[in-house]
């Protein structure tokens, strides 16, 4: 039993990763207006990033070839369930206490992510509620805590989260509902999603030719922060570049401009 329980996280996460796509396309008229304008590449990017972090929280850190460590809250929820069923021994009670403490710490940190997410939608609460309602309805999750959380008065979301999430079971379902909602929202905004995908493709194209440019410009690799340059490029130029035009000749002046900026800073 113990062996089985140990391998459970990996088993479940693998099952989930292999599960076929099950995407809900939201049909609210709001989304048709927002797609490409209010919901743009930046928001899709942020949602993807939040979702990636949620997946790491739920399933554990991602490993090469799409594997997951399997030590996330899904695993914790399973342990919690097993402990509930297990006899109330001193050892099990101790483990339960440990889990409660882990839950408190996890919730505390998770509030930060939630507040970022809430901030990003600040002023659009009504729209968010409408979309979450539709998503929960179509995913057959009428009891979802996400729904209650969305309906919470603006500014009180963290309090609500703290009060309503009392177990890893609740926490897991809240996170999965949020991750699924984000996925559905992303897929319901094809214009914004395309903007974002184009951005990532162009980013990758620049990344591929960057070693050539660095060599050409005689830049000492130890004095150059590639990630910071890619961030700079994304903020200032990437969306305006055309994929076919991404060549060392085009990127080199931008790299020199970045170096001048960092020097000035």
* Helix/strand/coil percent split, the chain, to 5: 75, 0, 20
Binding piece for another protein, criterion CB under 8 A, among 127-135, 147-155, 156-164, 169-177: 169-177
Q: Which of residues 191-230 bind another protein (CB under 8 A)?
A: 197, 200, 203-204, 207, 227, 230
Q: Residues in contact with another protein, total (CB under 8 A)?
A: 106
- Cβ atoms within 10 A of the Cβ of 215, count? 11
158 and 53 Cβ atoms separated by less than 8 Å: no
Residue 100: φ, ψ to 5°: -60, -45
Residue with Cβ nearer another protein (17 or 166): 17
Residue 112: φ, ψ to 5°: -60, -45
**Does residue 76 interact with another protein by CB under 8 A?**
yes
Q: Which of residues 116-135 bind another protein (CB under 8 A)?
A: 116, 119-120, 122-123
**Does residue 62 interact with another protein by CB under 8 A?**
yes
Q: Which of residues 6-25 bind another protein (CB under 8 A)?
A: 6-19, 21-23
Distance of CA 256 to the CA centre of its chain: 33
**Does residue 256 interact with another protein by CB under 8 A?**
yes
Closest CA to 156 of 114, 108, 126, 103: 114
d(CA 18, CA 188): 22
Q: Which of residues 80-119 bind another protein (CB under 8 A)?
A: 81, 95, 98-99, 102, 105-106, 109-110, 112-113, 116, 119
CB of 30 to another protein, least distance (A): 15
162 and 147 Cβ atoms separated by less than 8 Å: no
Binding piece for another protein, criterion CB under 8 A, among 63-71, 130-138, 148-156, 157-165: 63-71
């Amino acid at each position: 039993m113990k062996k089985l329980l140990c391998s459970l996280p990996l088993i479940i996460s693998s099952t989930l990763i292999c599960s076929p796509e099950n995407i809900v396309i939201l049909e609210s008229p709001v989304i048709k207006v927002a797609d490409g304008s209010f919901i743009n590449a930046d928001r899709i990017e942020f949602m993807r990033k939040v979702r990636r972090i949620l997946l790491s929280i739920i399933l554990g850190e991602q490993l090469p070839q799409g594997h997951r460590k399997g030590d996330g809250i899904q695993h914790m929820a399973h342990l919690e369930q097993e402990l509930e069923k297990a006899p109330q021994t001193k050892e099990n009670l101790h483990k339960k206490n440990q889990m409660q403490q882990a839950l408190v710490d996890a919730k505390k940190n998770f509030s930060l992510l939630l507040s970022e997410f809430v901030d990003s939608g600040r002023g659009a609460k009504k729209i968010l509620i409408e979309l979450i309602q539709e998503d929960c309805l179509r995913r057959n999750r009428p009891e979802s805590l996400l729904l209650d959380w969305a309906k919470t008065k603006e500014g009180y979301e963290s309090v609500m989260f703290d009060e309503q999430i009392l177990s890893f079971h609740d926490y897991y379902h809240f996170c999965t509902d949020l991750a699924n909602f984000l996925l559905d929202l992303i897929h319901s905004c094809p214009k914004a999603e395309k903007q974002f995908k184009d951005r990532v493709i162009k980013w990758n194209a620049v990344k591929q030719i960057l070693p050539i440019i660095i060599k050409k410009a005689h830049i000492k690799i130890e004095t150059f922060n590639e990630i910071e340059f890619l961030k700079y490029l994304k903020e200032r130029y990437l969306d305006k570049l055309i994929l076919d035009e991404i060549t060392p000749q085009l990127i080199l002046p931008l790299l020199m401009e970045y170096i001048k900026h960092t020097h000035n800073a």
